[in-house]
């Protein structure tokens, strides 16, 4: 792939693949029943985006976090961000399949969607720990794997937005219309 430069027609499918990974990471974070927050010592308290539970062994008592307006806002922002990523994924596949017909219009839409999804998810991922720490006063808590997946999806989206901004510079290479550049000429 990198022997004589980048093979752009093959590399163009990396972008929808990255968006697919971001969608999967978001789904894992949103659907996780535990794993956003755990207490440090006794593992007697955990929370997800949707609920929190206290107890030990098989005796758990759970409450919905969705009674709080901040938890509703976090859920709404994460779900809207996921929907925007799904739309961006579909548009990326269409833009990469129809490379000769209006790549610029499709790419500019993708940049807007991914940047907007990043903004929404960063806001949600900042609101959650601030408000959860205000809700719980005792002990030390760790933000764990599902919260990490949410940040992973956001970071992948930032990378996709940067790649989408760079794509219009390489439209000829992606479509195969670029002239071959030789390192050595016989003249």
Residue partners of 40: CB distance under 8 A and separation at least 6:
139, 140, 141, 142
Alpha carbon distance, N-terminus to C-terminus of the chain: 29
pLDDT of the chain, 187 residues: tens digit per residue: 344 445 555 566 777 888 899 999 999 999 887 778 888 765 778 888 888 888 877 788 888 888 889 889 999 999 999 999 998 888 878 777 765 555 555 566 677 788 899 999 999 999 988 888 787 767 777 888 888 999 999 999 888 888 777 665 555 555 555 566 666 656 6
C-alpha dist (Å) from residue 138 to 51, 76, 103, 133, 184: 18, 28, 53, 9, 70
Q: Which numeric CATH code is attached to 8-41+68-175? A: 1.20.140.150
pLDDT at 167: 62
pLDDT at 185: 59
pLDDT at 105: 53
pLDDT at 25: 94
Name the residue ranges covered by the structural domains of the chain. Answer: 8-41+68-175
């Amino acid at each position: 792939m990198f022997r004589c430069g980048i093979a752009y027609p093959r590399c163009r499918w990396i972008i929808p693949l990255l968006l697919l990974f971001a969608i999967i990471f978001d789904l894992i974070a949103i659907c996780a029943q535990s794993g956003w927050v755990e207490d440090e010592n006794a593992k007697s308290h955990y929370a997800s985006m949707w609920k929190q539970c206290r107890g030990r062994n098989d005796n758990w008592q759970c409450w919905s976090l969705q009674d709080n307006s901040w938890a509703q806002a976090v859920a709404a922002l994460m779900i809207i961000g996921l929907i925007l990523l799904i739309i961006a994924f579909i548009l990326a596949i269409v833009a990469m399949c129809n490379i000769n017909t209006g790549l610029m219009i499709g790419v500019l839409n993708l940049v807007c969607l991914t940047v907007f999804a990043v903004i929404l998810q960063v806001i949600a991922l900042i609101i959650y720990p601030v408000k959860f720490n205000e809700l719980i006063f005792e002990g030390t808590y760790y933000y764990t794997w599902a919260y990490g997946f949410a940040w992973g999806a956001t970071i992948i989206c930032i990378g996709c937005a940067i790649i989408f901004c760079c794509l219009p510079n390489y439209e000829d290479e992606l479509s195969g219309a670029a002239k071959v550049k030789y390192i050595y000429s016989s003249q």
